[in-house]
Amino acid sequence: MTQKQISENVVNTLKERVKELTCLLRMADIAGEPGISIEEILRQTLALLIPAWQHSDVATARIILDGQAHTSAGFSEGVSMQRADITVQGINRGFVEVHYVKAMPEQDEGPFLREERRLIDAVARQVGVIVERKQAEVERVQLQSQLRHADRLATIGFLAAGVAHELNEPLGNILGFAELAKKCTGLPDAAHRDLTKIETASLHAREIIKKLLVFARQMPMEKTAVDINQVVREGLFFLEARCMKAGIEVQYALADALPLIVADAAQINQVLVNLVVNALQAMPSGGTLHVATAAENDRVCMSVEDTGDGMSPEVQQQVFVPFFTTKDVGQGTGLGLPVVHGIVVSHGGTIEIQSEVGRGTRIEIWLPVSPAPILEETADD
């Protein structure tokens, strides 16, 4: 090999190395742009790939990520291809490919250079790092939103408990004096009716206060071994007639041999009734109510699904906030789901909502199965 050929080889190698480093540096710059989406990063990465290959005039490229294809302009699969897998946390999520649409002279790896192999591997690794970082950013935003929501609920719960305790005493006085006044002799009928209305209104206010205290987890619980299937059967026994009258078909799917849980049976029944009543109100023209139970991974699930109006994502974000309601004035207190939330959380459970406007809502209540010693202890008590 002549000196001139050696010099040309060195120059060509340096050029390829410069293209490789330029591509990777530009990728790092793109990934660092604030607010840029993964799709835009991949689009710009594809534009960087082709010039970095020796035969860029016959090169096309594509990136497959999570089954979705991103391709360079005029992409077509060629006669030769170089590929590198995209791995995120040890899981294959896709690959990066560079194709030559025409046959090219043989090099280190078919028509591709050894440096191009290093480059495509580095690009695939960089894409994996970008995806992992973007995924972490999304998860962090979701976690922050959940924490803010939990903090808001905790604050509202604290305020609700304080207000409820402050109102209990004057309400007790109102009820007491109303009862005493009704015992007065010679009381006109109109005054007697008005006192009855005062009692009714006061009792209604007291029920709202009880719901506030449940939401704020201030009401004492009486835990026993509870069979969720029995709760469902007993809870819906009194609601089936109402469902039939409203043109709503009730369907059951109760799991066999469901594990017992340690819970306050009355409160779990209240959870069921609140969910069912919400479902009925969402189906004013009739529909189907599906109630199911299941067990999975030391948890028991009770789900209530309707074919009603459904909820928008914006409404779903507010449903656990006390007094938030989409119903007309006088049609609801906005405490049904907040009370459900308070009860479920106090039992160490979780709530999952799936809803779509016009297609109905499914709410799943997941409660932990208590260890056997606790069940035995409760049974002995």
User: The CATH number of the domain where 117 resides is what?
Assistant: 3.30.450.40
Residues 112 and 167 in one domain: no
150 and 125 both lie in a single domain: no
Residue 185 is part of which domain span? Answer: 146-215
Give CA 366 to chain center in angstroms.
14
CATH number where 188 lies:
1.10.287
Q: What is the pLDDT of residues 120-149, one digit of tens each?
A: 898 898 888 888 888 887 777 776 666 565
Report the candidate in 327, 302, 326 with the shortest Cα–Cα distance to residue 315: 326
Comparison of pLDDT for 316 and 145, the residue scoring more: 316
CA trace torsion 143, 144, 150, 153 (10° rounding): -140
**Band of the pLDDT at 155, cuts 50, 70, 90?**
low
Claim to verify: residue 308 and residue 246 sit in the same structural domain? yes
Same domain? 229 vs 365: yes
Residue at which a domain ends, from 101, 123, 140: 140
CA distance 217 to 346: 7
Whether residues 27 and 108 fall in one domain? yes
What CATH number is associated with residue 337? 3.30.565.10
319 burial level (CB within 10 Å; 0-12, 13-18, 19+): buried
Domain boundary residue, one of 140, 166, 201: 140
CA distances 121 to 30, 95, 126, 152, 211, Å, are 18, 10, 9, 47, 60
Regarding whether 151 and 136 lie in a shared domain, the answer is no
| 248 plus 328 within the same structural domain | yes
Q: Are residues 240 and 367 in the same domain?
A: yes
- Same domain (yes/no): 161, 254: no
Do both 198 and 337 map to the same domain?
A: no
Q: Do 114 and 159 fall into the same domain?
A: no
For residue 95 the two structure tokens come to 């690959």
> Does pLDDT of 119 surpass 60?
yes
Check whether residue 256 and residue 358 sit in a common domain: yes
Q: Of 140, 158, 191, which residue sits at a domain end? A: 140
The pLDDT mean for the chain works out to 80
Provide, rounded to the nearest whole percent, the portion of the chain with pLDDT above 70: 77
Domains in the chain: how many in total? 3
| pLDDT tens digits for range 164-218 | 777 777 888 888 888 888 888 888 888 888 888 888 888 877 777 776 666 555 5
Does residue 322 have a pLDDT over 50? yes
Q: Residue written as tokens 């409404």?
A: 315
